[in-house]
A and B are shown apart, each in its own frame.
Chain A
Amino acid sequence: MIDEDFAFGNTAIHRLDPRIKIIVAAAFSIVIAVADKFPVLLTALPFSCILVAIARLNVKAVLRRLLIVNTFIFFLWLLLPVSFPGKPLFSWGKISITREGIIYSLQITMKSNAIVIACMALLSTSPVFSLVHALHHLRLPDKLVHLLFFCFRYIHVIQREYLRLTNAIKVRCFEPKTDIHTYRTYSYLVGTLLLKSSDRSKRVYQAMICRGFDGTYWVLDHFDLRAKDLVALSVMLLYVLGLALLQWGKIL
């Protein structure tokens, strides 16, 4: 689950400078999150889908991720059309489904999917370390950059630690049930995980000090902005600007 499934590939999107991907993903997310006109949302979805197509992401994997987001949306569909004030379309006794409620739910569904698909194509197609590096260039505070680096670096290590612990309780015939024994076992497991992590972080820090760490991070690979990147940036930002104009300009 914590593997970077989409991050490695050799398509135009994968080769794009991560700084550009972050800027476009942020601009697109913000515009779509605030937008509410259907023409805008209808124009936004193809943008996301085209990006996914260019990145040649595995369709099954994309759909699987969309399914998770849409379970939340599904609950909205159960509740919103019934509770939204407006003209009733159908009614059974006290319950009535309103036209406005359906429109509102449809808007949310389209917004949510457009943003998630775009972020899959733009953010998940870069290794996390390059994204963090890019955020550093985009002036994110140093401490936050360090936190992101370390946190992601150690998630896999801690997860292996966790798997070792769960194997240890499994070979002792542990079977999770709804009882105090299960909850106690899980709490001790979490406690052990926290202690091991705390100890490890101290060793890591000491090792860094030994190697002359003075608060500066040296990065070995550098980004270079090529003409292609700038063209891609302008095209995508123009598209987003177009969406914003369609929403707030006096075109429609």
Chain B
Amino acid sequence: MHIAEGVLSAPVLAIGGALAAGGVGIGLRKTEYEKIPEVAVLSSAFFVASLIHVPLGPTSVHLILNGLIGLLLGWSAMPAILVGLALQAILFQFGGITTLGVNTVNMALPAVLCFYLFRSFITSDKRAVVLVAAFFCGAVGVFVAGLLVACSLFFTGESFLQMARMVVLAHLPIMAIEGILTSFCVAFLRKVRPEILGVNK
């Protein structure tokens, strides 16, 4: 979820910007030059995937997949997500220059977290472990992103408390969907191309 321009307070924007700069810096240092095309094309794939709307009862939600991005890219997820968000800001003004940092941290930090939490389970030989870990990877990615969005709003002003609560609530159904999709997707990748998840055949 994007926070629009002009909503957050200066300290929140500044902290978001600084954290994003640090995280992207680490991400870039860990991304070698020969990896750049892969990270870039995968981030275009995630950009396109985020335009997919999945039906949920009478409405539909769009995919975020930040757990899966983290799983595949690790720290490189930081610059990958930054690039995606920057393009969205330029192409259709979802988010903008001042919120770029906050939005990047909100989406990419959970991605990196998921990498550290779940990567070792995803490479497990037991199918059940992989499926469950992948479910939680997708769910945790979205949930932490929702929490961070809520925090950004709350630290802007306490009157945002209700809005922040609604943001977290709205993320609960998305959590379930992202969990299911990530689980199936990881199972698929394990079957078709285990190397992409770091599994040696």
A159-191 interface mask toward B, CB cutoff 8 Å, 1 = contact, 0 = none?
100100000000000001110101110111111
Closest-CB distance, A24 to chain B (whole angstroms)? 11
Which residues of B lie under 8 Å from residue A69 when comparing CB positions?
Answer: 4-5, 93
A204 to B44, CA, bound (A): 14
Among B24, B90, B185, B192, chain A packs the most CB atoms within 10 A around the CB of: B90
A205 to B36, CA, bound (A): 9
Among A2, A32, A141, A215, chain B packs the most CB atoms within 10 A around the CB of: A2
Which residues of A lie under 8 Å from residue B117 when comparing CB positions?
Answer: none
Cβ of A73 under 8 Å from chain B: yes
Is there contact, CB below 8 Å, between A186 and B52?
A: yes
Which residues of B lie under 8 Å from residue A114 when comparing CB positions?
Answer: 6
Is there contact, CB below 8 Å, between A124 and B91?
A: yes
Choose from A154, A158, A187 the contact partner of B184 (Cβ within 8 Å).
Answer: A187
Cβ of B43 under 8 Å from chain A: yes
A195 to B94, CA, bound (A): 27
Which residues of A lie under 8 Å from residue B189 when comparing CB positions?
Answer: 191, 194-195
CB-CB under 8 A for A146 and B36, given A79-B166, A190-B185, A191-B189: yes
Cβ of A120 under 8 Å from chain B: yes
Interface residues of B in 132-166 (CB under 8 A from A): 157, 159-163, 166
A194 to B93, CA, bound (A): 26
Is there contact, CB below 8 Å, between B54 and A205?
A: no
Which residues of B lie under 8 Å from residue A187 when comparing CB positions?
Answer: 180-185, 188
Count residues of chain A with CB under 8 A from any CB of chain B: 83
Is there contact, CB below 8 Å, between A65 and B93?
A: yes
A201 to B72, CA, bound (A): 14
Choose from B28, B97, B193 the contact partner of A119 (Cβ within 8 Å).
Answer: B97
Count residues of chain B with CB under 8 A from any CB of chain A: 73
Which residues of A lie under 8 Å from residue B84 when comparing CB positions?
Answer: 151
Cβ of A208 under 8 Å from chain B: yes
A156 nearest CB neighbor, chain B only: B44
Which residues of A lie under 8 Å from residue B184 when comparing CB positions?
Answer: 183-184, 187-188, 191
Cβ of A200 under 8 Å from chain B: yes
Which residues of B lie under 8 Å from residue A208 when comparing CB positions?
Answer: 37
Which residues of B lie under 8 Å from residue A152 when comparing CB positions?
Answer: 44, 87
Which residues of B lie under 8 Å from residue A149 when comparing CB positions?
Answer: 40
Cβ of B199 under 8 Å from chain A: no
Is there contact, CB below 8 Å, between B93 and A128?
A: no
Cβ of B169 under 8 Å from chain A: no
B113-125 interface mask toward A, CB cutoff 8 Å, 1 = contact, 0 = none?
0000000000000
| Further contacts, 4 of them, CB under 8 A, given A29-B97, A33-B5 | A69-B4, A186-B54, A204-B41, A205-B38
For this complex, 20 residue pairs linking A to B, each with C-beta atoms less than 8 Å apart, are A1-B91, A33-B99, A65-B93, A75-B166, A79-B166, A115-B6, A119-B96, A148-B83, A151-B40, A152-B44, A155-B87, A158-B41, A176-B55, A178-B55, A180-B180, A183-B180, A186-B52, A187-B183, A190-B181, A194-B42
**Closest 6 A/B residue pairs (Cβ):** A111-B6, A150-B40, A187-B184, A112-B6, A201-B41, A197-B45
